[in-house]
């Protein structure tokens, strides 16, 4: 993936129990059991706020159909209750990625697929302070 190809920084959740602090190895195993050839996300943020690398940013993710080739995926471990440490790391990582991918819009998975998924379960643009950011063009 080239820098100008990246249009979205998409925040996901792992849909795993909130009391489980899994990481890249465990999430990779879950994804492979569900038919993926490797972990679906580029970055994983554990409960303690530790960031782990999944796919290389130069690799196409497999996290949001129709948007995979133009996005980078960040996945918060858990389902409903994210820790302050996770959110702090997420903010720091998004800020860093925005310095590289200047035109990329910061969004939640649910912004692209609608409320049917409720992922990550909060309004990422509002949380990050982008409520008035330009509109998101949804495909399909």
Residue 140: inside a domain: no
Closest of 114, 68, 75 to residue 94, by C-alpha: 75
In whole angstroms, how large is the CA radius of gyration of the chain? Answer: 14
Q: Domain of 60: which CATH number?
A: 3.40.80.10
pLDDT grade for 1, boundaries at 50, 70 and 90:
low
| Per-residue pLDDT at 131 | 64
Q: Which two tokens stand for residue 61?
A: 């993710």
Total number of domains constituting the chain: 1
Residue 48: inside a domain: yes
Indicate whether 68 pLDDT > 90. no
**Domain coverage including residue 58:** 3-128
pLDDT grade for 7, boundaries at 50, 70 and 90:
very high
Residue 135: inside a domain: no
Residue 15: inside a domain: yes
Query: Per the confidence metrics, is the pTM higher than 0.85?
Result: yes
């Amino acid at each position: 993936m080239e820098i100008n190809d990246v249009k979205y920084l998409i925040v996901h959740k792992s849909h795993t129990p909130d009391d489980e602090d899994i990481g890249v190895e465990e999430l990779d195993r879950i994804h492979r059991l569900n038919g993926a050839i490797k972990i679906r996300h580029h970055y994983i943020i554990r409960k303690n706020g530790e960031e782990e690398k999944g796919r290389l940013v130069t690799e196409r993710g497999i996290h949001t159909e129709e948007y995979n080739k133009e996005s980078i995926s960040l996945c918060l471990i858990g389902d409903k209750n994210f820790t302050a440490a996770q959110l702090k790391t997420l903010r720091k990582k998004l800020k860093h990625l925005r310095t590289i991918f200047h035109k990329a819009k910061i969004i939640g998975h649910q912004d692209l697929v609608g409320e049917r998924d409720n992922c990550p379960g909060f309004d990422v643009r509002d949380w990050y302070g982008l409520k008035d950011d330009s509109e998101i063009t949804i495909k399909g």
